[in-house]
């Protein structure tokens, strides 16, 4: 992302001295924007301007790495406000918090629960990302002990929450090597917090009281030479968090550097349903990390599923798993329908089949998630691929007949498919909307 | 969204001239309504060359009022007479469009403050006292001067409609690709980028089959970033071309009736 001519011009000295070889500063800015000149040609450009112009080539939202080892993850590098414009890059990290007021047994029990928040969605494993340790006790030793205990019981990176630099130092002495998130540098403690974060090279949350104070504080922190940051505008009320998250992302994309970092948001609520809804909102609205209190799987699963959906790449077709889908508890005499694993194709077929009230098996051939006719044209929906799938999944072993139904759009495949599968191939309707009447006329009355 | 600036309310046309002379708003209103139905977003208002400089002031205000009484559209106030410009802006409802400034410092220093004062958008031509530049690079250099000056007066780039100047293809053929290249580059000058416009009918002056030339150039220009054009909104094929180009450029969501919808916005 290059700078525009106007942005460069605003940083130039506007002397029109011609020493750069251009007639005016404006002309020089145009040359820079077009990549036809270097900034070094201007002897009068200030250090601040040079820094601003250099940093412009950096991505709008910095990449921040959290943790070490297998459970380490990345945030940032986002480039859009809306996922349909391109895609969201790095899924929101979900943190579950434990308090240092809890007893050692309570901490262990909750961490054990957190460790089990691993879910299987469409054939992939999805899990939470962080355990947050909160210094509710105000006691530095307790905080460090809890951090140590949590670290010993989980592989997830930690999020250390204390505004007390002394307590943070103690906790970092036990957990700092694993690059935990340090929460948070505020106006009162930022010098000490920056020094600690620097020492352990850990990502540091900068917390303001509002957007203005956040921008000021980030400028102070970056002036100290630390840029491994995460932002907290201090907002806690839902509407305010959405507004602030939106502003931070929007300004970052306009290359407002103080907001060019991932964010953290707190979904905390005594009611776990509200907490789950808050977390979902923040996942949709740009949060880098969402902190929750509940470790009950029913409240986490919905957030994880939403995160998976929001962060899928809209430019890639969405595929369902290639497998046998059993609709309405089919028995051995149920029909077997063949389609592709494009999610839209599958859900159309599944929806219309369910509407027919006829229990059925739907088999999705892996076509890399493209539709029936597209896959046919691309040579991915062929008698061979259908036969392979039918055999591999063993669907004919579930039924007492020897018939498979293929989409009407690929009727030409029926002969060869019959040959390769050894099945009787029935050509279904062109549109899945025709499935209910097709069943009535061709399946139930046979 | 592509913005059509309807060119028809201009004292150069006989019926408008008669309306002005007889103080009869009927023709002005008719053209306002007709152009609105054809999909115009702005109504260009030009007193034409007949009246004296003093008379133009009052005529401009009258034309703007007549047009806005008939339809709920903003006007592009098209005059080189600054007193008439200000008179038009004073009576205008909503956000007006000043048509036009050039990259001459004296003009920029009058018209940009006027745009800021009346919160109007402004058309700015990429030319100065030395005339129309030849290459795309020279046009862009002037566009940059317009942009930097507008910025200095606090005018957002999205309110600045830069016109890279289109010349007749029969006598200035080599300017055609330069204007197109300039349009492409102008959209890269700032973020948000300035808007762009052209006086479309210029491309076909005194050439045969003007509508074909106009609509072909319009599609080509929209492809490289044209946001608006002063054009004949009554030319149905031309408006259809704008609608179609806007679909192909993914500026409006496709539907089968997109040509109809384009006129109803």
Tell me the per-residue pLDDT of B115-128, one tens digit each, with 9 for 90 and over: 999 999 999 999 99
| CB of B52 less than 8 A from some CB of A | no
pLDDT in tens, B145-159: 999 999 999 999 999
Q: Are B117 and B98 in contact (CB under 8 A)?
A: no
**Chain B residue with the nearest C-alpha to that of A14:** B148
Considering only CA atoms, which of A282, A223, A284 is closest in space to residue A257?
Answer: A223
Q: Closest to B144 (Cβ–Cβ): which among A10, A30, A254? A: A30
| CB of B190 less than 8 A from some CB of A | yes
What mean pLDDT comes out for the span B243-262? 96
Considering only CA atoms, which of B114, B134, B130, B133 is closest in space to residue B122?
Answer: B114
CB contact under 8 A, B191 and A4: yes
d(CA B176, CA A282): 50
Locate tokens 């997109």: which residue? B258
The pLDDT assigned to B111 comes to 97
Q: Which stretches of A176-268 are DSSP H helices? A: 190-200, 211-223, 238-253
Give the closest-approach CA distance of A268 to chain B in angstroms. Answer: 37
pLDDT in tens, A151-199: 999 999 999 999 999 999 999 999 999 999 999 999 999 999 999 999 9
- Whether omega before B42 lies within 30 degrees of 0, making that bond cis, reads no
pLDDT in tens, B32-73: 999 999 999 999 999 988 778 889 999 999 999 999 999 999
Q: What is the rounded average pLDDT for all residues in chain A?
A: 93
**Chain A residue with the nearest C-alpha to that of B191:** A4
pTM of the entire structure?
0.77
| CB of B180 less than 8 A from some CB of A | no
Q: How confident is the model at residue B182 (pLDDT cuts 50, 70, 90)?
A: very high
CB contact under 8 A, B147 and A254: no
SS3 category, B26: helix
pLDDT in tens, A88-115: 999 999 999 999 999 999 999 999 999 9
| CB of B128 less than 8 A from some CB of A | no
What mean pLDDT comes out for the span A273-298? 97
Instruction: Count the neighbouring beta carbons within 10 Å of the beta carbon of residue A182.
Output: 27
Tokens read off for A391: 């055999």
Give the closest-approach CA distance of B191 to chain A in angstroms. Answer: 7
Considering only CA atoms, which of A158, A218, A156, A157 is closest in space to residue A193?
Answer: A218
d(CA B101, CA B96): 14
Phi-psi region of A88 (alpha: psi -120 to 50; beta: other; left: phi over 0): beta
Q: Closest to A30 (Cβ–Cβ): which among B141, B157, B191? A: B141
**Any bridge partners for residue B98, and if so which?**
B77, B122
CB contact under 8 A, B148 and A30: no
SS3 category, B198: strand
| CB of B225 less than 8 A from some CB of A | no
d(CA A208, CA A234): 5
Phi-psi region of B196 (alpha: psi -120 to 50; beta: other; left: phi over 0): beta
CB contact under 8 A, B190 and A33: no
What mean pLDDT comes out for the span B77-105? 96
The pLDDT assigned to A123 comes to 65
Which residues in chain A have their CB less than 8 angstroms from residue B135's CB? none
| CB of B181 less than 8 A from some CB of A | no
In this predicted structure, the answer to whether residue B228 has a pLDDT above a threshold of 90 is: yes
| CB of B140 less than 8 A from some CB of A | yes
What mean pLDDT comes out for the span A128-153? 96
- Whether omega before A184 lies within 30 degrees of 0, making that bond cis, reads yes
In this predicted structure, the answer to whether residue A122 has a pLDDT above a threshold of 70 is: no
Q: What is the rounded average pLDDT for all residues in chain B?
A: 95
In this predicted structure, the answer to whether residue A1 has a pLDDT above a threshold of 60 is: no
Give the closest-approach CA distance of A78 to chain B in angstroms. Answer: 18
CB contact under 8 A, A6 and B140: no
In this predicted structure, the answer to whether residue B265 has a pLDDT above a threshold of 80 is: no
Phi-psi region of A18 (alpha: psi -120 to 50; beta: other; left: phi over 0): left
| CB of B51 less than 8 A from some CB of A | no
Helix, strand, coil % (nearest 5) of chain A? 45, 15, 35
Helix, strand, coil % (nearest 5) of chain B? 50, 15, 35
Phi first, then psi, for residue B212 (nearest 5°) are: -65, -45
d(CA A331, CA A329): 7
What mean pLDDT comes out for the span A370-388? 94
pLDDT in tens, A416-430: 999 999 999 999 999
d(CA A138, CA B221): 65
Which residues in chain B have their CB less than 8 angstroms from residue A81's CB? none
Considering only CA atoms, which of B223, B230, B249, B242 is closest in space to residue B259?
Answer: B242
pLDDT in tens, A42-97: 889 888 788 777 777 678 999 999 999 999 999 999 999 999 988 999 999 999 99
Locate tokens 């977390």: which residue? A279
Give the closest-approach CA distance of A277 to chain B in angstroms. Answer: 31
Give the closest-approach CA distance of A110 to chain B in angstroms. Answer: 49
The pLDDT assigned to A30 comes to 84
């Amino acid at each position: 992302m290059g700078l525009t001519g106007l942005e460069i011009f605003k940083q130039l000295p506007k002397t029109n001295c011609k020493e750069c070889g251009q007639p005016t500063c404006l002309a020089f800015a145009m040359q820079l924007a077009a990549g036809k000149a270097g900034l070094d040609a201007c002897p009068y450009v200030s250090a601040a301007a040079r820094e601003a112009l250099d940093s412009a080539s950096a991505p709008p939202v910095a990449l921040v790495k959290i943790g070490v080892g297998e459970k380490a993850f990345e945030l940032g590098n986002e480039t859009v406000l809306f996922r349909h414009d391109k895609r969201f890059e790095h899924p929101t990290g979900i943190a579950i918090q434990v308090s240092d007021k809890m007893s050692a047994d309570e901490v262990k029990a909750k961490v054990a629960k957190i460790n089990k928040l691993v879910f299987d969605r469409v054939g992939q494993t999805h899990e939470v990302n962080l355990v947050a340790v909160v210094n509710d006790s105000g006691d530095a030793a307790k905080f460090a002990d809890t951090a140590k205990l949590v670290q010993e019981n989980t592989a997830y990176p930690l999020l250390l929450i204390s505004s007390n630099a002394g307590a943070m130092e103690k906790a970092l002495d036990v957990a700092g090597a694993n690059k935990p998130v340090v929460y948070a540098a505020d106006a009162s403690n930022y010098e000490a917090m920056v020094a600690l974060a620097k020492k352990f090279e850990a990502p540091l949350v900068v917390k303001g009281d509002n957007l203005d104070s956040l921008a000021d504080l980030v400028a102070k922190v970056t002036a100290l030479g630390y840029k491994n940051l995460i932002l907290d505008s201090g907002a806690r009320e839902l509407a305010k968090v959405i507004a602030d998250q939106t502003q931070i992302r929007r300004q970052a994309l306009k290359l407002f550097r103080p907001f060019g970092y991932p964010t953290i948001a707190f979904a905390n609520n005594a009611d776990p349903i509200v907490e789950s809804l808050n977390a979902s909102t923040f996942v949709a609205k740009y949060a880098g990390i969402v902190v929750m209190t509940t470790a009950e799987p029913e409240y986490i699963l919905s957030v994880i599923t939403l995160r998976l959906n929001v962060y899928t790449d809209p430019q890639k077709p969405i595929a369902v798993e290639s497998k046998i889908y059993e609709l309405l508890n089919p028995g051995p005499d149920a029909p077997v329908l063949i389609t592709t694993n494009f999610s839209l194709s599958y859900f159309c077929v599944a929806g219309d089949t369910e509407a027919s009230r006829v229990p059925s098996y739907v088999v999705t051939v892996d076509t890399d998630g493209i539709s029936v006719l597209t896959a046919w044209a691309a040579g991915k929906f062929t008698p061979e691929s259908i036969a392979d799938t039918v055999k591999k999944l063993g669907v004919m072993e579930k039924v007492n007949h020897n018939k498979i139904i293929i989409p009407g759009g690929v009727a030409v495949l029926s002969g060869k498919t019959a040959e390769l599968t050894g099945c009787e191939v029935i050509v279904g309707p062109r549109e899945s909307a025709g499935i209910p009447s097709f069943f009535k006329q061709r399946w139930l009355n046979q | 969204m592509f913005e059509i600036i309807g060119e028809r309310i201009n004292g150069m046309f006989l019926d408008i001239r008669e309306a002005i002379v007889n103080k009869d708003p009927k023709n002005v209103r008719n053209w306002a309504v007709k152009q609105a139905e054809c999909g115009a977003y702005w109504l260009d208002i030009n007193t034409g060359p007949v009246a004296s400089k003093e008379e133009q002031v009052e005529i401009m205000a009258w034309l703007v009022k007549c047009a806005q009484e008939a339809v709920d559209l903003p006007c592009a106030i098209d005059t080189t007479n600054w007193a008439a410009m200000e008179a038009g802006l004073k009576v205008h409802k909503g956000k007006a469009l000043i048509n036009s400034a050039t990259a001459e410092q004296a003009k920029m220093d009058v018209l940009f403050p006027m745009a800021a004062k009346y919160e109007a958008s402004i058309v700015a031509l990429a030319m100065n006292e030395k005339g129309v530049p030849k290459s795309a690079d020279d046009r862009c250099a002037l566009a940059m001067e317009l942009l930097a000056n507008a910025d200095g007066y606090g005018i957002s780039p999205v309110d600045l409609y830069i016109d890279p100047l289109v010349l007749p293809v029969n006598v200035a053929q080599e300017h055609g690709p330069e204007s197109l290249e300039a349009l492409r580059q102008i959209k890269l000058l700032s973020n948000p980028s300035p808007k762009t416009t052209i006086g479309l009918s210029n491309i076909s002056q005194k050439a045969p089959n003007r509508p074909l030339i106009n609509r072909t150039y319009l599609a080509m220009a929209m492809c490289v970033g044209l946001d608006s054009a002063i054009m004949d909104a009554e030319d149905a094929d031309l408006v259809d071309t704008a609608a179609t180009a806007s679909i192909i450029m993914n500026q409006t969501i496709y539907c089968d009736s997109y040509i109809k919808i384009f006129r109803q916005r």
